[in-house]
Structure 1
């Protein structure tokens, strides 16, 4: 279904945040009448639970509802709307239905923002007129003038769930459990995430070293051609360099991103660019000029003798393991914890058992659960207490790493606010 299919049908725009407002404005520009469904004022401000009788009647009366990503498919109202016969779609699917041939989408539990940004950077460097859009913050409706030749789209699991057409090229960076409340279960999360591969992509680019990911992609999209990183395409050597099959190479010290997991992301972006016709030497030159995104293994200014690293977007245990693995030779003080969403911390605690050089500083409900169930780390009453100790002479580490493995909402309004508190502690004299 595309936007033109909505003409002459009764349409409801479900949600009026940033994406809902852009959909409503676009429909108005196309001359397509529609109802805007917002939370009933008397039911409170939370858009996930505050839809009452008025909203329900509008959605059930609609032939098509364009749902915002923030509304979970596990909500009772979503089930009622689908059961009532309303077709539920999304901005992503409406747009993709018209633009799939020029779209390279990047999805994954972690690494998608960096990989998408790097791929867009490489394509621009090669003169391919790419634009970066999607979950990274720019609406797909914001078309540059002249229109871009290629759209690199960061694709969340929320957005992928609704797709009925796949992008031309899909890059899958990693897979581990995330957003389980929204999706309903771990298996539903994987199904919804990999729905992006299930509708005829030209190719799916995957990390060749991740057997579990490869198996899930094959199961979700048995007919999709796979293009895997490795020594026959673009791979990562034992010493952390990115190497092409023709011998083109970017050594580890020349890579713009810290850690082997980031080298894999670079290889994925390079392989996707090569599939799109960009020569290895051009990709390699572009890689060297890329700069890391904020809050992803980002070194921040510090006033003590230690290195402070902001990895506050690592909000799953597996992401923390990858970040720690990029610092194998450093004595690390690791800040872990925050709001508890019930994720399994065993991958992290198993890894920490092999890294006695890591001093673990635990905060928040998630940190308390790690402390109580695994018996690791030192529990602090607040984030402020933890970073104060990290700055003190009691801390034996040379690196202080904020890689929380959990959201920030126990103490902070956002991950940016938590990051700001970390940076302020690093710079304090």
Structure 2
């Protein structure tokens, strides 16, 4: 690894501190963190949120003495910015963003802004599925090895707030495509692309190639001193890589073929080799994370650990002791011999495919919500072979009925987590599993996927 981080900004701290007005759009975790760092660096800061700012973040902004507005965007207070830091959730098509772009005002992400003020090295993990699990597992391995490491991005606390308050040597950053769209000078020391499957296509003109190009921005600005890790089994990733010509040193992982540099599966054993004569092996039965998709996640994290030259014993212990995140194939309870599993974080079809693929019993599947242009065809075989009933949880379930009416005998509509859980319980029998894996966003009935998962868990406990 190259130990001398280049300054990744065209606007280093010495040039920017206290010399401009920074406007932050969105007052969530990333926005408030960005406000904290911008205030610390002497900028004139203003925060504007078109939605309602929660009490928690209002209190944080008041404590920082940052002026802010809620439920509106006042143009005269925004269009005079020297730079704008935008929440990843705000699309390019938002009227205020269009006006900023028309005026030539720079619009960047919190990640881009924060990295200007940090010399820490970054491990950046993206992909349509598995990035939260892989980020947390990587963080667990590095922390267990004694590295001074932070966790941020699409997970945990704001990167900018940690840059303001902490002094980490390393960061594991979970990076979404929305974040990547507003990252320009940022450079990842280690970039990981887990997979590319259709997701968020409403933000990319419903073109998979646009979404894939966004994912490949994880490699932008990388040099031969940096590392790029990707899945050799993922066709869309291979296609996107072929179109972008990354410059970093590459490592691949595969469960079907042996690889020269990276990780592969042979006789139910993971083999990881990043340099000659120092191979790491581990039986997949010893992994804390089970299921085919988690073999991929463990391989990616293992390659990172080997690239950082961590001890094999530490990697093995960490990969065997890791506990998965809430709302991702989380076992809630066993009631009357029926397992209840919370996979509310599965907000796209591919995530639900992974969940069903890992199931070893008959399933009553709770799915539905805000459909982001889903193609349910990839689920049909698994639904036919494993799913005995579908309980729809959402305001509009027509597309789910149309997709699966020939594959399962029972499809029921429900409009609350409590109702869905009770009906699923009655449809299941001893030895079955009730799986909440929605394949859809949650915003029709819930605040977010966490709220959906928490309501499901509460409903299970009431059975």
- For 1:393 and 1:61, how far apart are their aligned partners in 2? 59
1:393 Cα shift?
6.2
- 2:187 matched to 1:166? yes
Q: Secondary structure at the match of 2:159?
A: coil
Q: 1:102 to 1:276 in 2, by over 3 A?
A: same
Q: Secondary structure at the match of 1:380?
A: strand
- For 2:94 and 2:288, how far apart are their aligned partners in 1? 41
Q: Where do 1:33-112 residues align within 5 Å?
A: 33-39=44-50, 51-52=72-73, 54-55=74-75, 57-99=76-118, 102-112=121-131
Aligned residue pairs, count: 419
1:199 Cα shift?
1.8
Higher alpha-carbon deviation: 221-230 or 142-151: 142-151
1:240 Cα shift?
5.0
1:12 Cα shift?
2.5
- For 1:426 and 1:409, how far apart are their aligned partners in 2? 21
Q: Where do 1:143-154 residues align within 5 Å?
A: 143=163, 147-154=167-174
1:120 Cα shift?
1.0
1:207 Cα shift?
1.6
Q: 1:137 to 1:357 in 2, by over 3 A?
A: closer
1:136 Cα shift?
0.3
- 2:216 matched to 1:204? no
Higher alpha-carbon deviation: 31-40 or 78-87: 31-40
- 2:351 matched to 1:331? no
- 2:265 matched to 1:237? yes
Q: Secondary structure at the match of 2:389?
A: strand
Q: Which among 3, 17, 39 is matched to residue 28 of structure 2?
A: 17
- For 2:172 and 2:81, how far apart are their aligned partners in 1? 32
Q: 1:368 to 1:238 in 2, by over 3 A?
A: farther
Q: 1:124 to 1:309 in 2, by over 3 A?
A: same
Contact 1:361–1:380 (Cα < 8 Å) also in 2: yes
Higher alpha-carbon deviation: 112-121 or 134-143: 134-143
Higher relative strand content: 2
Contact 1:13–1:24 (Cα < 8 Å) also in 2: yes
Taking only aligned residues, the RMSD between alpha carbons, in angstroms, comes to: 2.8
Contact 2:34–2:114 (Cα < 8 Å) also in 1: no
- For 2:166 and 2:22, how far apart are their aligned partners in 1? 30
Aligned partner of 1:117 in structure 2 is 136
Q: Secondary structure at the match of 2:229?
A: strand
- 2:444 matched to 1:410? yes
- Normalised to the residue count of structure 2, the TM-score between the two structures is 0.82
Q: 1:242 to 1:304 in 2, by over 3 A?
A: farther
- 2:341 matched to 1:304? no
- For 1:114 and 1:81, how far apart are their aligned partners in 2? 35
- For 1:262 and 1:100, how far apart are their aligned partners in 2? 31
Q: Which among 166, 172, 175 is matched to residue 155 of structure 1?
A: 175
Aligned partner of 2:145 in structure 1 is 126
Higher alpha-carbon deviation: 248-257 or 141-150: 141-150
- For 1:259 and 1:384, how far apart are their aligned partners in 2? 29
Higher alpha-carbon deviation: 282-291 or 9-18: 9-18
Higher alpha-carbon deviation: 148-157 or 5-14: 5-14
- For 2:270 and 2:191, how far apart are their aligned partners in 1? 21
- For 2:123 and 2:101, how far apart are their aligned partners in 1? 30
Q: 1:51 to 1:240 in 2, by over 3 A?
A: farther
- For 1:155 and 1:259, how far apart are their aligned partners in 2? 23
1:15 Cα shift?
2.9
Q: Secondary structure at the match of 2:293?
A: helix
CA distances 1:93-121 after superposition (whole Å, capped 9, x unpaired): 12234547611111111211111111111
- For 2:317 and 2:418, how far apart are their aligned partners in 1? 42
- For 2:375 and 2:119, how far apart are their aligned partners in 1? 36
Higher alpha-carbon deviation: 76-85 or 317-326: 76-85
Structure 1 runs not aligned, ≥5 long: 42-46
Aligned partner of 1:228 in structure 2 is 252
CA distances 1:158-208 after superposition (whole Å, capped 9, x unpaired): 211111222110111221122233444333322223212122151211122
Q: 1:348 to 1:322 in 2, by over 3 A?
A: same
